[in-house]
Amino acid sequence: MSMENSEQQSPLEGIRVLDFSQALAGPYVGRIMADLGADVIKVESPTGDMTRHWGRRQAGMAGYFLQWNLGKRGLCVDLSLGKGVELIKQLAGKADVIVENFRPHVMEKFGLDYQVLRELNPRLIMASISGFGADSPEAGRGAFAPVVHAETGLIARQAKASGGEFIDIEASVADTNTGLHTTVAILSALLLRGATGKGQHLDMAMIDAQIATDDIGIYEIEDSLPTRPLGNRVWPIKDGHVLISRDARALWRHLAPEFNLVDDTPKDAPLQEKVENRRRLMCDALCSLPSKAAFVALMDKLRIPWGDVRESARLGESAAISHRGIVTEITDPTGETRPVLNMPYRFSAAKSEIRGFAPYLGEHNMAVCKDWLGMGDEDIRALQEAGALIQAAR
């Protein structure tokens, strides 16, 4: 999104990306780069990205796949055939960036590893995403976000904080964190290439990205949890629940004089009893407020950050979210609309935008071969007849 309605340039205009990835970490990178103006080609096998089966279907397109592949063009290639591999080599010779999230050495089995491709294109930047890193003793292990959540402490921490059982968190944060870090690495490599003329290979491990993005984990790593601020709490009020972003000790200092609260816990009582008594007094005080408006006025007066506890389906009730336009709609090929999410980039003199619908399997085979390689219709038909290029019915 841009802050002005003028003919502005996209930051990555002219950059060509081959996106071999599926699920989320890799496709997230491609989606960001597509919104920023890159020509991103979604390269799929004949079976397609697994997420083509996730979410509500409309116009033959599953919602989860749609979200993370908006604005890309689709190419379906059978890499078990020599002609399919040769086609990818030709495309790699024209690419600026390749993104893949196979297990380490899978691209090598296809004859498409970085050592081979850089001989064809020394300026190529190739980002390889894996769960545990290419040089790890656990490199061969498969990993989705929940595996990384378990391995890096998130699940144990959530259970400890809630006093509950071990369950995964309801968001693929290890994937999106990895996608964001991979995008930063790619953009940095592109910037460096501008100075040196040389590409490079990026080895991105999901465990690395998650640990590097975990601001609470450092307390556990250095065994200093008692020094961290107390966790934020959710409080009931007249019209629902709110999270108040304030250390409970500081919140008591704010609320006690406002409501004339008195802590009558015996001096020799255990600390936890004192904590629970103060929480009960604050909870009763907040619940005594006559309305949500009264709560908001109090928080404004005390300059305390707070947030409504709402479900994702109710995002439109937020004035800020509605104003920013992060949730928008796109029209599918049948003319029906469906909700999608914008990327959050707002430039003063450039644009970020959804550049089109997500591709159907192999939808842009012909266009990509013509645009990138200048192929004629006969050569493309020969690849189709050989089974190297595949276009599935919608």
Catalytic sites, residue numbers: 175
Could you tell me where the DSSP H helices lie in the chain?
A: 25-35, 63-69, 82-92, 106-109, 114-120, 145-151, 154-162, 173-196, 206-212, 217-221, 248-259, 271-287, 292-302, 319-324, 365-373, 377-385
Alpha-carbon distance of 27 to 49, in angstroms, equals 10
Q: Which residues, including other chains, have CB under 8 Å from residue 72's CB and lie 6 or more apart?
A: 19, 30, 31, 34, 40, 41, 42, 358, 359
Alpha-carbon distance of 159 to 166, in angstroms, equals 5
As a three-state string, the secondary structure of 111-150 is: CCCHHHHHHHCCCCEEEEEECCCCCCCCCCCCCCHHHHHH
Closest CA to 322 of 333, 334, 310: 310
Closest CA to 90 of 361, 373, 384, 391: 373
β-pairing, 337-341 with 327-331? antiparallel
Alpha-carbon distance of 308 to 231, in angstroms, equals 17
Q: Which residues pair with 19 in a beta bridge?
A: 42, 99
Q: Which residues, including other chains, have CB under 8 Å from residue 326's CB and lie 6 or more apart?
A: 341, 342, 344
Burial of 348 (0-12, 13-18, 19+ CB in 10 A): exposed
Which pair of tokens denotes residue 292? 């949500």
Alpha-carbon distance of 343 to 12, in angstroms, equals 14
3-state secondary structure of 357: coil
3-state secondary structure of 99: strand
Closest CA to 26 of 209, 275, 237, 165: 209
